[in-house]
Structure 1
Amino acid sequence: MAVYDTVLRGRILTPDGERDASLAVANGLIAGIFEPDAELETRVDRTLAADEVLLPGLVDTHVHADEPGRTEWEGFASATAAAAAGGVTTIIDMPLNSIPPTTTLAALRVKQAAARDQAGVDIGFWGGVVPDNLGTGELRALHDAGVFGFKCFLAETGVDEFRHLTQEQLEQAARELAAFDGLLLVHAEDAGHLHDHRGGGDYAGYLASRPDEAESAAVARVIDVARRTGVRAHIVHVSSATALPLLRAAKADGVRITAETCPHYLTLAADDVADGETSFKCAPPIRERANQDALWAALADGTLDIVVSDHSPATVELKTRDHDFARAWGGIAGLQLGLPAVWTQALARGVPLAHVVDWMSARTARFAGLAGRGLIAPGARADLVVFAPDAAFTVDAARLRHKNPITAYDGRELRGVVRQTWLRGAPVGEHPGSTAPAGELITRKES
């Protein structure tokens, strides 16, 4: 009879649905799923509490860890601690807002060196496309080094070291990436449709400065380029319902395009934002509640593929600068809170937990090409989350694992508590024989 490292018994969410079972772990993998009372020889035998369910670890493919260069904003140690506290076992780091940005092979090596000894969960990396690295060979070098794809912007980014692309440069990037089947991620706001914001604490004014048309126009541009070049394209953080018919039609036509949305667009609405509450500032902006309903419907019908955090933190000073929406940094700190935030809203809408986990775990893993992650099945990695879906808590920004105690969710009551996160068969922080964080750096070639 096999001897397992651990057996976990209780409610388990598998790809076939929730069931009472015993899950056996050996050598960091799920060795088998058996009947609840199966007699199994194991070093550790644990039964979950009656209010707990075992989920696969989440895979968050949109995280700004900001290290090196802006580590006061976040950093790999605090980002991965927050991830683990929120049930996230794999993150893929965006190429900005670090200094240097991940736009060259040398910069990737700098970022990997910074992350290596601080990884509380597994970390992969996106590359970036900027005007300066087009046609230089750097994109292919980054691809060969294992980045998961390449992020670009169609409007100003807010940081000088990561410039946006013109239409001509977008087409050049698409053709360059299509030559080696690279993935192009696009922040889809069209610069020509954005308006100057006069400043101040009026959220309605900020929202009007980044209208729906800016998003739909940019998505239309990306679809056109993807259709003509054959590049694989992905729209990040869709906020506007006006983009959904375009995406739906493009997919039906066979264009190689996917799209994501984020917990803050699914759970927060413009009506929630009081004047001067700049912790809610992000781009694209949080829109009206009717718009939110359309995003949920688009997840249900497959127009939107995945849900990711777009964790984009900054210091309290930068986030609250004069409580002025023109001056404050834009970005939502939500890495630790994505699962309970989405589950809270899903519960109110009658959406099953299995759908939430699929959008945030199984589908994100498939999107990144990470086989063996995001699901509970024999042979998969034993990246697991002990989750209490009916437990409630009130968000206290000061108690989160994010480096800076500010988030748009502060003071909100959410449902669903992550009680423990397991990485490769052991609770985070308890890997045997290890005094360092147990996360590893991963590349596309390892998927």
Structure 2
Amino acid sequence: MHVYDLVVIGGNVIFPDAIEQTDIAVHNGKIAHIGRLSAPDIAGAVQVIHADGMQVMAGMIDAHVHFNEPGFGDWEGFKTGSAALAAGGCTTYMDMPLNGVPPTVTTAALEWKRELAAGHSHVDYGCWGGLVPGNLEEMEALSEQGVCGFKAFMSAPGDPDEEAFRNVDDTTLLEGMQRIARIGRVLALHAESEPVVSKLTASLLAEGRTTAADYSASRPIEAELEAVIQALEYGKQTGCPLHFVHISSAAAVQMIQNARTEGMDVTLETCPHYLTLTDQDLEQIGPAAKCAPPLRSLEEQELLWQCIAAGQIDMITSDHSPCPTALKTDAAHMFEAWGGISGAQHSLELMISEGYVKRGLPLPLISRMVSLAPAQRFGLYPQKGEIGIGADADLVIVDLDTSYTVDQEQLLYRHKHSPYVGREIFCQVQLTMVRGHIVYTREHGMTDEPIGQSLCIPNEKPLSLF
């Protein structure tokens, strides 16, 4: 008989390529056994979790969140942001170098961010470094300190603070790619053309056009495509591994897919809001649904789902970009409202509800997109990303037989707004476990003590997914 710290029995375990009704045993925070357990092994376990009829998945790895520390006062913060992630079945996240002041573009800023996160995160976390004008000499040191990669904006982030994150000029982008290729990291890109966006925005505002439809028109798909083309060309010149964040159009997906077919080391993500909300929702919901790139048409949304079914989109991230509610509700018009969606709490449930329940996409495919692919791409595999012997016991149990409607009071964000309030979701997370510690249950909510650990990513060549 083995003595395990915890066993999960009877669940439908989601592996990257299969589903099997079986048991999982955990010892010292790691998965120690997968397979049917004997009665003595179950009886001897310190804790037994019955998962009969439910799905047991690797915890989501959200590679794109903004928790607004340091310097943003009463904005989101690590404690509330990580609690929302845990309630949504996420066990690891990667915090972007913005929005925070100072942004994570120096080793001093990285150290400060980690100090603020220590003891306040409910789930494990890593940090992105930034590529901005003036910090090229910091990049190697940031890599040595274990950032998971670097993030650059090809359009203006929109924060007026003098110390805030800035978009790259062409020279910085090209030289930054050269350095990142030598270092052996990934460059994540917000791909919207600043010349296109700024020109259209100025023209629309000059005409007094400030509606939701006008905001969408200021950031067309063409702006995304132009930036993707430029970045891919620089990537070919430098050999820099690229990752495109929050891609919103099927045409951009196809461009990136073509580059990959030609041998480029490039991946991409999209977000639940592009798969569940449209430009019509922006008009109806208002600024709570404002983001950049903006929400697209229903036809474009369906094309993105087709890309997912064809295996052309690598991963799903939340791009959780929260703010105090007043920055949404008190803005004079859509252009002035904060551009970011609070969605981290529902990413996994939305993907299962919309992808599996409504469209019949396989659960292993969804698991690969939310867990395995980000773990592989950003240096966490095989420690995290799938249910396997020796991996961290980062598990989420999901009930497919429970539906619920998102209510504002259920939100664990510091500022309780979300475009998903009032939306029915056709599954529900029942339990989230990080390294064998239960951090959330639907019955009891969050555990009191944040146990998340900082992850320093080894300075190794990023894993190509193809």
TM-score bucket (shorter structure) = over 0.9
Q: Secondary structure at the match of 1:310?
A: coil
> Which of 302, 306, 310 is 1:301 aligned to?
310
Aligned to 1:237: 246
**Residues of 2 paired with 1:38 and 1:170: CA distance?**
59
> Which of 346, 357, 365 is 2:367 aligned to?
357
Aligned to 1:79: 81
Q: For the structure 1 residues 202 and 435, does the alpha-carbon distance in structure 2 shift closer, same or farther, using more than 3 Å as the test?
A: closer
Could you tell me how far 1:102 is from its partner in structure 2?
0.1
- Confirm or deny: 8 A CA contact 1:276 1:323 kept in the other structure: no
**Residues of 1 paired with 2:303 and 2:285: CA distance?**
27
Could you tell me how far 1:193 is from its partner in structure 2?
1.5
- Confirm or deny: 8 A CA contact 1:23 1:33 kept in the other structure: yes
Could you tell me how far 1:34 is from its partner in structure 2?
1.8
Paired letter, 2:362: P
State whether structure 2 residue 435 is matched by structure 1 residue 424.
yes
Matches within 5 A, 1:38-437: 39-40=40-41, 42-44=44-46, 46-134=48-136, 137-159=137-159, 160=161, 161-194=164-197, 195-196=200-201, 197-198=204-205, 202-275=211-284, 277-322=286-331, 324-346=333-355, 347-371=357-381, 372-428=383-439, 436-437=449-450
Q: For the structure 1 residues 392 and 275, does the alpha-carbon distance in structure 2 shift closer, same or farther, using more than 3 Å as the test?
A: closer
Q: Secondary structure at the match of 2:183?
A: coil
Paired letter, 1:374: G
- Confirm or deny: 8 A CA contact 2:143 2:459 kept in the other structure: no
Q: For the structure 1 residues 318 and 77, does the alpha-carbon distance in structure 2 shift closer, same or farther, using more than 3 Å as the test?
A: same
Which shifted more, 181-190 or 237-246? Answer: 237-246
Q: For the structure 1 residues 200 and 400, does the alpha-carbon distance in structure 2 shift closer, same or farther, using more than 3 Å as the test?
A: farther
Could you tell me how far 1:16 is from its partner in structure 2?
4.3
- Confirm or deny: 8 A CA contact 1:55 1:385 kept in the other structure: yes
Q: For the structure 1 residues 357 and 276, does the alpha-carbon distance in structure 2 shift closer, same or farther, using more than 3 Å as the test?
A: closer
Q: For the structure 1 residues 116 and 45, does the alpha-carbon distance in structure 2 shift closer, same or farther, using more than 3 Å as the test?
A: closer
Q: Secondary structure at the match of 1:131?
A: coil
Could you tell me how far 1:179 is from its partner in structure 2?
1.7
**Residues of 1 paired with 2:338 and 2:296: CA distance?**
18
- Confirm or deny: 8 A CA contact 2:431 2:440 kept in the other structure: no
Aligned to 2:444: none
Aligned to 2:26: 25
**Residues of 2 paired with 1:173 and 1:165: CA distance?**
9
Q: For the structure 1 residues 302 and 323, does the alpha-carbon distance in structure 2 shift closer, same or farther, using more than 3 Å as the test?
A: farther
Could you tell me how far 1:20 is from its partner in structure 2?
1.6
Could you tell me how far 1:2 is from its partner in structure 2?
2.2
Q: For the structure 1 residues 212 and 275, does the alpha-carbon distance in structure 2 shift closer, same or farther, using more than 3 Å as the test?
A: same
Q: Secondary structure at the match of 2:331?
A: helix
Deviation string, structure 1 residues 50-107 (Cα, Å, up to 9, x no partner): 4422111111100101111114220000011111111100000000001110000000
Q: For the structure 1 residues 49 and 147, does the alpha-carbon distance in structure 2 shift closer, same or farther, using more than 3 Å as the test?
A: closer
- Confirm or deny: 8 A CA contact 1:261 1:306 kept in the other structure: yes
**Residues of 2 paired with 1:302 and 1:355: CA distance?**
8
Q: For the structure 1 residues 406 and 201, does the alpha-carbon distance in structure 2 shift closer, same or farther, using more than 3 Å as the test?
A: farther
Q: TM-score, normalised by structure 2?
A: 0.91
**Residues of 2 paired with 1:16 and 1:156: CA distance?**
40
Which shifted more, 21-30 or 45-54? Answer: 45-54
**Residues of 1 paired with 2:70 and 2:421: CA distance?**
27
Q: Secondary structure at the match of 1:391?
A: coil
**Residues of 1 paired with 2:39 and 2:333: CA distance?**
60
**Residues of 1 paired with 2:60 and 2:187: CA distance?**
23
- What do you get for the CA RMSD once the two structures are aligned? 1.9
Could you tell me how far 1:214 is from its partner in structure 2?
0.2
**Residues of 2 paired with 1:38 and 1:118: CA distance?**
38
Q: For the structure 1 residues 323 and 33, does the alpha-carbon distance in structure 2 shift closer, same or farther, using more than 3 Å as the test?
A: farther
Deviation string, structure 1 residues 147-194 (Cα, Å, up to 9, x no partner): 011101111101241111112221111112112122111100001221
Q: Secondary structure at the match of 1:344?
A: helix
Deviation string, structure 1 residues 228-282 (Cα, Å, up to 9, x no partner): 1000111110012221221121001111111110010111112223356110100
How many residues matched?
Answer: 442
**Residues of 2 paired with 1:335 and 1:275: CA distance?**
21
Q: Secondary structure at the match of 2:402?
A: strand
**Residues of 1 paired with 2:398 and 2:37: CA distance?**
18
Which shifted more, 113-122 or 339-348? Answer: 339-348
- Confirm or deny: 8 A CA contact 2:184 2:459 kept in the other structure: no
**Residues of 2 paired with 1:412 and 1:96: CA distance?**
29
Q: Secondary structure at the match of 1:92?
A: strand
Gaps of 5+ in 1: none
Q: For the structure 1 residues 47 and 169, does the alpha-carbon distance in structure 2 shift closer, same or farther, using more than 3 Å as the test?
A: closer
**Residues of 1 paired with 2:51 and 2:148: CA distance?**
38
Q: TM-score, normalised by structure 1?
A: 0.95
Paired letter, 2:370: M
Could you tell me how far 1:354 is from its partner in structure 2?
2.1
**Residues of 2 paired with 1:125 and 1:99: CA distance?**
15
